[in-house]
Structure 1
């Protein structure tokens, strides 16, 4: 009498007859790990730098003791820092640093300008 064939295991479950092979098949590749590391690093770096740009723009908008020139300088600094954030994210992903995505780096400065003028 032959034993009936075992039903196929769902993906992610260990095979008790082949624990080592089952474990090795469930592991990702080095390329997958590098891709995840790259995304985590870029999200952390870009969000941190954009917070700096937003804070600089907010400082220009909400400080009453700044002159007009001081506000312009802070908003210009916010624009530069925002663009640097986008360039850093693109370099982490090994893309060309100059692209139309750089316009997104200007958003904190544009919002700060709108808040300053209103």
Structure 2
């Protein structure tokens, strides 16, 4: 078994608590489903947001999901590069898995598909 990183990103249209929390849950649920993982397999989740998303902590949404209460979570601001994608939430999920790096499915939703078109499914 190895520790693997699973990346995810999603954009929201507005800097409001509801949309930020909903988008976070949507992205994490897609990561879990695509990779066949359960909270017990998760080492930790690192969450970043762009500076224009300050209405809430996205980790609040994860903490409220059943089974995720004990998973270590941390939020931070994304590096503010000029011209970069706005209103974006990113996840780095560290998971214990038997899957190879090539078998991991990274999830990019909404406007965040532009970040990694090579990993975005059509």
1 or 2, which has the higher helix percentage?
Answer: 1
Is TM-score (shorter-chain normalized) higher than 0.5?
no
TM-score (structure 1 length as normaliser): 0.28
1 or 2, which has the higher strand percentage?
Answer: 2
**Which protein shows a greater Rg?**
1
